[in-house]
């Protein structure tokens, strides 16, 4: 589905305005140097199986699960209905790097906010590699390098996510960039790199920038620094030291990814990041509320203390459940995380499993009481991380009973839903 008419002009005019003139879309190759980032990846294996909650808890057959996954993917990526798709194919206007008809660029569009975000492209790339859709993966990555990649200045190597209406302002969303790295590494493991698609070197180059931007720049330049704190090993909300150098979000913590990066690179920094991330998730949930609901605020300082004005559990926090669930699925979770997952599910169950709202104060006081499909989806995925919770099958059933979302909010809801399906089917796997 190509993007047409006024919408095409609005979207691509805004997106391309941020692209560097004459951008080649290529990332520079890495040397091992003294940064701790190697020039090649080691194979990563997962010693255990992948828990299939749909089969184990609901008795679903593999054919049913595969059909559900593929139907959701096809609707969100290739539907011909204008109210259903989020994937726009062959977006070449105005950018030479996307003009080759044999190597098209495609994007993920957020209809609600009318923009293109690294969050959506990164999640879509993760979904594509896990479902073995290499063409869509390559088109998304080609677009990202051609349009979203910063090619000069202190932020060179970061990707500009257009956050909100002021699309001219750079927004270096680390959530999206972390998913770029993970998806590229998985793609290298599944499909292998090529001259046209150097998944391995692209992943390592971006990973090096996230960790070592200040080393590359000779310090913090124009407020741009590392995406990860070299002291605390925690991911920053943004690699912009003036604005968010000492705050983060629970939804940005991806301990399973850090475990994978540690295995793939041999860099002990990422083992430390995984440990710090585990500790932060537990600490933020504990500090946020009394009684302990398990709900974490949207933003917290590195010690887990909520940031004033961002101390509620809101829609962006839903991604935390996916991060906890993937950590459990890959066997890299800390021992205490099952208790946190159970506490969260118990809170939502006590609110009414079919009626709980969409946002809360962290003490459990409802803010918005209308149910949210995205929250129901990620809570279902979280059941993977709470093996002893007596009602977890009901949360999984709630996901199975959902339909693939349509309408203006289908971008975020759809990505949460499809990622949850992958986790619950045991098909978000290590390659």
**Average pLDDT over every residue of 373-396:** 98
- 31 in any annotated domain: no
pLDDT of residue 6: 40
The least confident of 119-128, 281-290, 351-360, 412-421 is 281-290
- 261 in any annotated domain: yes
Average pLDDT in the chain: 90
Range picked from 8-17, 27-36, 128-137 for highest mean pLDDT: 128-137
The pLDDT tens digits for 86-114 are: 999 988 667 888 888 889 999 999 999 99
**Average pLDDT over every residue of 396-402:** 98
Over pLDDT 70: what percentage of the chain? 88
Residue 360 binned pLDDT confidence (cut-offs 50, 70, 90): very high
> Does 185 have pLDDT greater than 50?
yes
**Average pLDDT over every residue of 184-195:** 98
- 391 in any annotated domain: yes
**Average pLDDT over every residue of 189-215:** 97
Domain count along the chain: 1
**Average pLDDT over every residue of 193-212:** 97
**Average pLDDT over every residue of 138-147:** 96
The least confident of 164-168, 171-175, 410-414 is 164-168
pLDDT of residue 48: 83
DSSP state of 306: B
pLDDT of residue 28: 56
pLDDT of residue 177: 98
pLDDT of residue 10: 42
Residue 3 binned pLDDT confidence (cut-offs 50, 70, 90): low
> Does 7 have pLDDT greater than 50?
no
Residue 245 binned pLDDT confidence (cut-offs 50, 70, 90): low
> Does 5 have pLDDT greater than 50?
no
- 218 in any annotated domain: no
- 70 in any annotated domain: no
- 252 in any annotated domain: yes
**Average pLDDT over every residue of 392-408:** 98
Q: What is the CATH number of the domain that holds 369?
A: 1.50.10.10
> Does 317 have pLDDT greater than 90?
yes
Residue 241 binned pLDDT confidence (cut-offs 50, 70, 90): low
- 299 in any annotated domain: yes
> Does 171 have pLDDT greater than 70?
yes
Domain assignment of residue 346, given as a range: 43-61+246-431
pLDDT of residue 30: 44
- 279 in any annotated domain: yes
Separation CA 259–CA 275 (nearest Å): 9
pLDDT of residue 379: 98
pLDDT of residue 91: 81
């Amino acid at each position: 589905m190509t993007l047409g008419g006024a919408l095409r002009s609005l979207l691509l005019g805004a997106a391309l305005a941020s692209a560097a003139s004459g951008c080649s879309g290529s990332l520079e190759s890495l040397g091992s140097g003294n940064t701790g980032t190697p020039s090649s990846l080691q194979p990563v294996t997962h010693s255990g199986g992948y828990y299939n909650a749909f089969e184990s808890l609901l008795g679903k057959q593999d054919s049913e699960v595969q059909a559900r996954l593929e139907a959701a993917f096809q609707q969100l990526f290739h539907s011909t209905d204008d109210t259903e798709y989020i994937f726009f194919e062959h977006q070449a206007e105005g950018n030479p790097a996307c003009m080759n008809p044999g190597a098209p660029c495609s994007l993920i569009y957020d209809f609600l906010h009318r923009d293109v975000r690294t969050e959506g492209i990164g999640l879509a790339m993760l979904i594509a590699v896990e479902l073995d859709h290499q063409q869509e993966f390559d088109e998304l990555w080609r677009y990202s390098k051609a349009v979203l990649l910063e090619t000069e200045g202190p932020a060179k190597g970061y990707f500009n996510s257009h956050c909100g209406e002021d699309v001219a302002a750079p927004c270096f969303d680390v959530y999206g960039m972390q998913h770029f790295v993970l998806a590229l590494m998985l793609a290298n493991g599944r499909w292998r790199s090529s001259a046209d698609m150097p998944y391995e070197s692209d992943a390592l180059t971006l990973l090096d920038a996230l960790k070592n931007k200040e080393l590359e720049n000779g310090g913090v330049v124009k407020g741009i620094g590392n995406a990860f704190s070299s002291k605390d090993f925690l991911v920053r909300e943004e690699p912009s030291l003036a604005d968010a150098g000492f705050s983060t979000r629970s939804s940005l913590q991806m301990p399973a990814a850090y475990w994978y990066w540690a295995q793939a690179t041999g860099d002990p920094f990422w083992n430390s990041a995984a440990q710090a991330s585990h500790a932060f998730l537990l600490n933020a949930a504990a500090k946020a509320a009394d009684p302990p609901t398990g709900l974490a605020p949207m933003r917290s300082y590195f010690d887990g203390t909520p940031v004033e004005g961002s101390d509620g559990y809101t829609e962006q926090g839903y991604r935390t459940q996916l991060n906890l669930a993937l950590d459990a699925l890959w066997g890299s979770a800390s021992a205490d995380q099952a208790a946190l997952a159970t506490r969260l599910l118990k809170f939502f169950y006590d609110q009414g499993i079919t009626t709980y709202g969409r946002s809360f104060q962290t003490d459990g006081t409802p803010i918005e009481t209308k149910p949210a499909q995205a929250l129901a989806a990620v809570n279902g995925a979280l059941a993977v991380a709470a093996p002893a919770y007596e009602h977890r099958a009901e949360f999984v059933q709630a996901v199975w009973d959902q339909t693939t979302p349509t309408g203006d909010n289908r971008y975020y809801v759809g990505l949460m839903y499809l990622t949850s399906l992958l986790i619950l089917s045991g098909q978000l796997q290590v390659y």
